[in-house]
């Protein structure tokens, strides 16, 4: 990995380079995605099944598009019992963590005749997109479905691309069953996002779409936003490690590569105060790359977006981490909890040398759907609130409104909204006529 002495120019250049990976910069695909979305919106199942034949090389019909109970039972038999046990334990951790996030409605009644409050209501239906094909991502299934289930969403609809045989990966399907999906459909890509957003003869329209996917899925979510809600327009994966001379270089190198292997656009950055550690991590990373299975992806990822930055101080390292606002942030320093208190921008923060990033991906419980491309400055991890909406509650008795009605009328007239003022005034016109 390249080693660079950190300064303001280097920081600016790296931020600029990282932002180029944003899905919004891939406009050459936007027209193609929009045509797919429009076709599914207009022609429903006909277009949906045609795109499935074209892109997934699978023949799906109205009779076969929805996964049956028999298919779920068959899939579960194919899953290794040890993996099934691991998924169940992971599920318990994820559910336990997200149950602590759930908020209740509240009401504040006062003696003056007013009641103010906030009513929390789960979304009625949610669509969960899960990548498919040859790969299986049961962790993504659990992370997207469980918080929706904890929130109380009644209809959780999962979509995932089928294999050429028209079947869903058995591990993916089993995870969906464990997590609480109410329906699973064998469709993927931009066409699946469009189906969830607008509905077809077979797939119902949902209120919100969540879940990871390739650039076509990301752009499709962007195209349908407003017709439905979405979680985010996710970019490539990223990790940043803050480390000092006390860190184990072998551990740090392994953690950096854990994200670099996702794809060629993934970023892996170490910010350290120790030149000795920087050199050692670079050597360890090079040795790991030679023996890991995704060598070609790792090499390209590190070449494009891999950095070891040597900072002049720990404060400079922290400032750099806050500027980059990484999806995953590991802190491996002498006093990691103290450093954590100074971090403002990060999707997930991993503290200490035994809290490596894959712990969060698979098992600890916090959600691994995290803000990317610097959006951790204003976005949060996927959570229970994402599957709920809030309604304001307002009640005033006649006596309570009477005390403030002239204030409201004055405010409305100041904005030249006389109908607003009249709406309040008519409630007291009898009293005004009688002089009360």
Query: Active-site residue numbers?
Result: 327-328
Q: What span, in angstroms and rounded, lies between the C-alpha atoms of 315 and 116?
A: 44
Helices (H), 325-436: 336-340, 357-362, 398-414, 418-425, 429-434
- The Cβ of residue 340 has, within 10 Å, a number of other Cβ atoms equal to 18
Measure Cα distances from 325 to 136, 319, 343 in Å: 29, 10, 9
Bridge-based pairing of strands 114-122 and 106-110 is: antiparallel
Instruction: Please count the helices (runs of H) and the strands (runs of E) in the chain.
Output: 18, 14
Q: What are the residues whose beta carbons fall under 8 Å from the beta carbon of 388, sequence distance 6 or more?
A: 103, 120, 121, 122, 123, 151, 152
Q: Which of 229, 228, 248, 128 is nearest to 179 (CA)?
A: 128
The number of CA neighbours under 13 Å toward the Cβ of 80 is 3
Among residues 68, 96, 84, the alpha carbon closest in space to that of 178 is found at 84
Beta-sheet pairing, 3-5 with 208-210:
unpaired
- Contact between 186 and 134 (Cβ < 8 Å): no
- Rounded to whole angstroms, the Cα distance separating 5 from 22 reads 26
């Amino acid at each position: 990995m390249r080693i660079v002495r950190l300064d303001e120019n280097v920081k600016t250049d790296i931020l600029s380079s990282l932002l180029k990976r944003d899905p919004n910069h891939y406009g050459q695909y936007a027209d193609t995605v929009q045509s797919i979305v429009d076709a599914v919106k207009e022609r429903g199942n006909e277009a949906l099944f045609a795109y499935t034949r074209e892109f997934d090389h699978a023949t799906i019909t109205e009779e076969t598009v929805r996964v049956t109970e028999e298919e779920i039972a068959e899939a579960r038999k194919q899953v290794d019992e040890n993996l099934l046990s691991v998924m169940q334990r992971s599920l318990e951790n994820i559910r336990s963590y997200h149950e602590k996030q759930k908020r209740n409605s509240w009401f504040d009644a006062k003696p003056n005749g007013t009641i103010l409050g906030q009513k929390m209501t789960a979304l009625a239906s949610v669509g969960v997109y899960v990548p498919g094909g040859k790969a299986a991502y049961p962790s993504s299934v659990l992370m997207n479905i469980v918080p929706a289930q904890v929130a109380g969403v009644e209809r959780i609809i999962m979509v995932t691309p089928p294999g050429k045989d028209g079947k869903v990966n058995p591990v993916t399907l089993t995870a969906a069953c464990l997590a609480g999906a109410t329906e699973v459909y064998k469709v993927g890509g931009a066409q699946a996002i469009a189906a969830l957003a607008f509905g077809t003869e077979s797939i119902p329209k949902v209120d919100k779409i969540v879940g990871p996917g390739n650039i076509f899925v990301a752009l499709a979510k962007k195209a349908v936003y407003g017709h439905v809600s979405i979680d985010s327009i996710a970019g490539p994966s990223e990790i940043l490690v803050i480390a000092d001379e006390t860190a184990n270089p072998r551990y740090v190198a392994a953690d950096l590569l854990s994200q670099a292997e996702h794809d060629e656009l993934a970023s892996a950055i170490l910010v350290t105060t120790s030149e000795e550690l920087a050199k050692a991590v670079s050597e360890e990373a090079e040795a790991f790359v030679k023996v890991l299975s995704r060598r070609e992806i790792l090499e390209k990822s590190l070449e494009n977006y891999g950095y070891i930055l040597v900072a002049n101080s720990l404060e400079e390292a922290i400032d750099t981490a806050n500027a980059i606002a990484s999806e995953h942030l590991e802190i491996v320093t002498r006093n990691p909890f103290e450093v954590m208190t100074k971090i403002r921008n990060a999707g997930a923060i991993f503290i200490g040398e035994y809290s490596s990033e894959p712990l969060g991906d698979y098992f600890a419980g916090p959600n691994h759907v995290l803000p990317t491309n610097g959006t951790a400055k204003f976005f949060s991890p996927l959570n229970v609130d994402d599957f709920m909406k809030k309604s304001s509650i307002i009640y005033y008795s006649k006596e309570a409104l009477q005390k403030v009605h002239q204030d409201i009328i004055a405010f409305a007239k100041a904005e030249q909204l006389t109908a607003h003022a009249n709406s309040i005034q008519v409630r007291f016109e009898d009293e005004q006529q009688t002089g009360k």
